[in-house]
Amino acid sequence: MNSAAFLDPALPFGNDAPGGGHWKRLVSLGDSFTAGLGDPEPGSPGGIRGWADRIAEELAALRADFSYANLAVSGLVLQEIVDLQLERAIALQPDLVTLSAGGNDLVFHRRDPDRLAVDLDAAVAALSATGATVVIFTGPDWGHTPVFGRIRGKVAVFNENIRTIAARHHGVIADLWTMRELSDPRMWDPDRLHFSPLGHHTIAGMVLDTLQVPHTLVPLRPKPLPAPGWRQTRTEDLSWATHYLFPWMAQRLRPHPPESPAAPKRPDPGPVLRVTASPAGSL
């Protein structure tokens, strides 16, 4: 299948966000991005926070009966997210859903973005049929990175499919691709694949703005970085490859027995307490 076969030019591109923060139950589906990897939770050794927790805190401030569940599990591909999380999410009866899936398929498994879109379309259709507002994420633009930049074209094709899916099912697009501020390396974890606390904070603000929800997440503008010389850039790239890229490759090439799926981050809906620590750590 090619993108022309999947995309329908008659469909409008845009967001159908009711706004106002009237939602009372948020359920988030996804992988490590939605789980919040790269954003340690203050006062909780080994815990992670992330953009989904941050928007839940803001929505909880708008109504006392708000609840939040996060079904995300690190490392899952799109089909695993559908198989393990979709039915559970619908059973929780949310009126607001976030879904980010497909990143691991594109980065680590080289899957075809058009075939991925067919699977994603079915999942979004099922979620939308419940009457919930469905927020769908586009992938970020890795064009500035030396390795992940090679899949930039595939990510762009997948993103165009995502825009069509959102239009078809009246979904809301959380558009990471258009966030030029994400080109700042401080938005990213040292592994260059996940976001830093600053990145999660910035993304949470974008999602709330897209949903037209008033919030307290003031944009944080770190001071400009000096342009690195070629020696510094080469040293940083070599360090990253040594500590992250080569171990990832070795892990995927080494045979290992199947493992039981990890537990979701926050499987049951519950109230949300605001975290008062600095939202983005040291800049």
Average pLDDT over residues 164-185: 94
pLDDT of 1 > 60? The answer is no
The per-residue pLDDT of the chain, averaged, comes to: 83
Q: Which residue bears the tokens 């999942």?
A: 123
pLDDT of 5 > 50? The answer is no
Bigger pLDDT: 193 vs 257:
193
Question: What does the alpha-carbon distance between residue 183 and residue 144 come to, in Å, rounded to a whole number?
Answer: 7
Band the pLDDT of 142: cuts 50, 70, 90. Answer: confident
Instruction: Identify whether the C-beta of residue 151 lies closer than 8 Å to the C-beta of residue 106.
Output: yes
- Exposure of 232 by Cβ count < 10 A (0-12 exposed, 13-18 middle, 19+ buried)? exposed
Band the pLDDT of 3: cuts 50, 70, 90. Answer: very low
pTM for this entry: 0.82
Band the pLDDT of 149: cuts 50, 70, 90. Answer: confident
Candidate from 6-15, 122-131, 229-238, 260-269 with smallest mean pLDDT: 6-15
Q: Report the DSSP beta bridge partners of residue 188.
A: 195
Bigger pLDDT: 238 vs 28:
28
What residues contact 14, with CB distance under 8 A and at least 6 apart?
A: 167
Angle (nearest 5°) at CA 53 between 50 and 58: 125
pLDDT in tens, 60-85: 999 999 999 999 999 899 999 999 99
DSSP state of 234: H
pLDDT of 278 > 70? The answer is no
Instruction: Identify whether the C-beta of residue 173 lies closer than 8 Å to the C-beta of residue 207.
Output: no
Candidate from 117-131, 206-220, 225-239 with smallest mean pLDDT: 225-239
- Exposure of 189 by Cβ count < 10 A (0-12 exposed, 13-18 middle, 19+ buried)? middle
Question: What does the alpha-carbon distance between residue 241 and residue 149 come to, in Å, rounded to a whole number?
Answer: 14
Question: What does the alpha-carbon distance between residue 27 and residue 89 come to, in Å, rounded to a whole number?
Answer: 6
Average pLDDT over residues 162-179: 97
pLDDT of 267 > 70? The answer is yes
Average pLDDT over residues 107-116: 91
Could you tell me where the DSSP H helices lie in 85-196? 87-91, 103-108, 113-128, 152-168
All domains of the chain in start order, with CATH: 3-219+262-270 (3.40.50.1110)
Bigger pLDDT: 86 vs 38:
86
Candidate from 48-62, 101-115, 183-197, 219-233 with smallest mean pLDDT: 219-233
pLDDT of 88 > 70? The answer is yes
Question: What does the alpha-carbon distance between residue 51 and residue 96 come to, in Å, rounded to a whole number?
Answer: 15
Which of helix, strand or coil describes residue 66? coil
Instruction: Decide the pairing of beta strands 172-174 and 133-137.
Output: parallel
Band the pLDDT of 230: cuts 50, 70, 90. Answer: very low
Q: Which helix (H) or strand (E) holds 248?
A: helix 246-253
pLDDT of 46 > 80? The answer is no
pLDDT of 28 > 70? The answer is yes
